Chain A
């Protein structure tokens, strides 16, 4: 197992290198440049050129890339073009809130989806099944910004029991209850979408397993239907679900762009939008690198989890 993991990590290096090259090219192809984006329109052309020279933007692309890469090798992700703060510091500030939001949303979503998915598979084609599949379709299709605004209007404006946005009330940063209150609405918005999808996945995956011979064996042993479904069928049905959850892991750090925007959540999604708007090349490059790393890491993690759930899979 360990040699396998080490090998996979080594394979990841060229992949990450390729991803950064492609990203670098695409980011630089976007119209405009950092200097145009944040300097007063009345600034003279000479001053703009000077600034460009200072940031190294007049160098040929390949040289800029080499600079970036050699800085990366020294553990230096550079400085943001718009705030002049170290990129590492910016990202570290944002990663916590995003991780907290996304992990909670994923957990809540799965907790909702699991029982509903199981019930609708076991009672396939019943009224309950039609009802739950209908509801899950609603969960998948409703846009996050719409649901978010709706919830804000209802809970924050009308009932005034929950905050409309942000991560904490000014002045009560350490208050746990205050934090929870801020989390409820954005987590709910994201969880609805996640639950909607996973109800479908779990239902489909379980239906595939329910006709298997080994469930007949389990029943023939005299086991209760509850045990047959939740022990014998579910573990088999979860194997494909793990793949899909694995695909979700990069989002735990990538953040939810729209939901974070709606709720003014100081996370990675917002940071991404801001960096794109201001053509903040170093921050964008760092964000992309992080995402690429997370995708590779999540794939590896998925494969490792597989071997725990499915005894037929062994890595050497």
Chain B
């Protein structure tokens, strides 16, 4: 079966005052109908930029330099702005990180809901209102009819995110991009929102692209995971394989740095040494070699390819290339303070 979305060798650059900065390079992945794919990585690794490029919302400075984004039969990098607008909010929807600022403060919830519904579903204002109330009801907003008249400031963060989800799912999109949908919410609300997204997904067969830096969220919801580092995909696997047998040293580092309840009090939390290289000074060779505990001279010279080591498991690392069967599971030494 053809995947719903196929991102192929995507390269995105942003124009600055003087030159161009490449923020995403060689990003490839696919999303199938109805599945949830998680994209993880630190801040600035290109997760959000990748998702915005699918929506065609990079802004005037961002530009897709290379690669294709195939959605159904169409290449989203080539279609007209007019067609992109038809797709946005209709076939592909997006919810954002900041529910507090993602709704327009001077228009009522109803006004903002009805807008998209009227545009894509070609309903009359009256029908669109009824439909919007139904959607709000569905995402668990109490007194949905009265809420239509409320303004965003009267709602809590969790409620606003529910409104955003109602808005995004109103036109039954084939793909929902959720860019850190729970990051700004407190933990109990996080769980509710994730659950809500999963329930609605089951009803509508919507594929979800979940962007987050929270591995807990990934473990909870994703079917497949893509790990990004410094603008590249470094590992891709189904969620069980990734958590059980991470191959890339970066993924291993990420997993090792999750705090565990059963840790001793004095035990230091593991962290990956160093910091993410800046987009302007990308290291030669493997981009992770400056922070990698297993780096070899070869890693500094040449960039590894994203290679498939098993069915559905891809890794961008020389270590795996050399000896595909030897698992690199040794975690960095956990040191204690005393």
Residues of A within 8 A of B (CB): 212-214, 216-224, 232, 235-236, 239, 309-312
User: Could you say which residues of chain B place their CB within 8 Å of the CB of A220?
Assistant: 55, 57, 88-89, 93-94, 96, 168
Which of A217, A309, A311 contacts B96, CB < 8 Å? A217
User: Could you say which residues of chain A place their CB within 8 Å of the CB of B85?
Assistant: 222-224
Contact of A214 with B57 at beta-carbon distance under 8 Å, contacts A221-B167, A222-B120 already known:
no
Contact of A213 with B98 at beta-carbon distance under 8 Å, contacts A221-B115, A221-B119 already known:
yes
Contact of A219 with B88 at beta-carbon distance under 8 Å, contacts A213-B102, A235-B106 already known:
yes
A239 closest partner in B (C-beta): B106
Contact of A218 with B104 at beta-carbon distance under 8 Å, contacts A213-B96, A213-B98 already known:
yes
Task: Give CA–CA (A62, B55) in the complex, Å.
Answer: 74
In the complex, per-residue mask of B75-90: 1 if CB is within 8 Å of any chain A CB, else 0: 0000000000111111
Query: Is B240 positioned at the interface, with any CB of A under 8 Å from its CB?
Result: no
User: Could you say which residues of chain A place their CB within 8 Å of the CB of B93?
Assistant: 220
User: Could you say which residues of chain B place their CB within 8 Å of the CB of A235?
Assistant: 106-107
In the complex, per-residue mask of B96-109: 1 if CB is within 8 Å of any chain A CB, else 0: 10100111111110
The answer on a CB contact under 8 Å between B164 and A217 is yes
The answer on a CB contact under 8 Å between A311 and B153 is yes
User: How close is A310's CB to chain B, nearest CB, in angstroms?
Assistant: 6
The answer on a CB contact under 8 Å between B101 and A213 is yes
Interface size classification for chain B: 20 to 34
Number of A-B contacts (CB under 8 A): 71
Contact of A223 with B106 at beta-carbon distance under 8 Å, contacts A311-B151, A312-B151 already known:
no
Task: Give CA–CA (A147, B115) in the complex, Å.
Answer: 46
Could you list 26 A-B pairs, sorted by A, with CB under 8 Å? A213-B98, A213-B101, A213-B102, A216-B96, A217-B102, A217-B104, A217-B164, A218-B115, A219-B57, A220-B88, A220-B89, A220-B94, A220-B168, A221-B115, A221-B167, A222-B86, A222-B88, A222-B89, A222-B119, A224-B85, A232-B104, A236-B105, A239-B106, A309-B106, A311-B106, A311-B108
Task: Give CA–CA (A221, B119) in the complex, Å.
Answer: 9
User: How close is B80's CB to chain A, nearest CB, in angstroms?
Assistant: 13
Task: Give CA–CA (A310, B107) in the complex, Å.
Answer: 9
Query: Is B246 positioned at the interface, with any CB of A under 8 Å from its CB?
Result: no
Query: Is B253 positioned at the interface, with any CB of A under 8 Å from its CB?
Result: no
Give the 8 A-B residue pairs with the shortest CB-CB distance, closest first: A222-B88, A222-B89, A311-B151, A221-B89, A213-B101, A221-B116, A214-B104, A220-B94
User: Could you say which residues of chain A place their CB within 8 Å of the CB of B96?
Assistant: 213, 216-217, 220
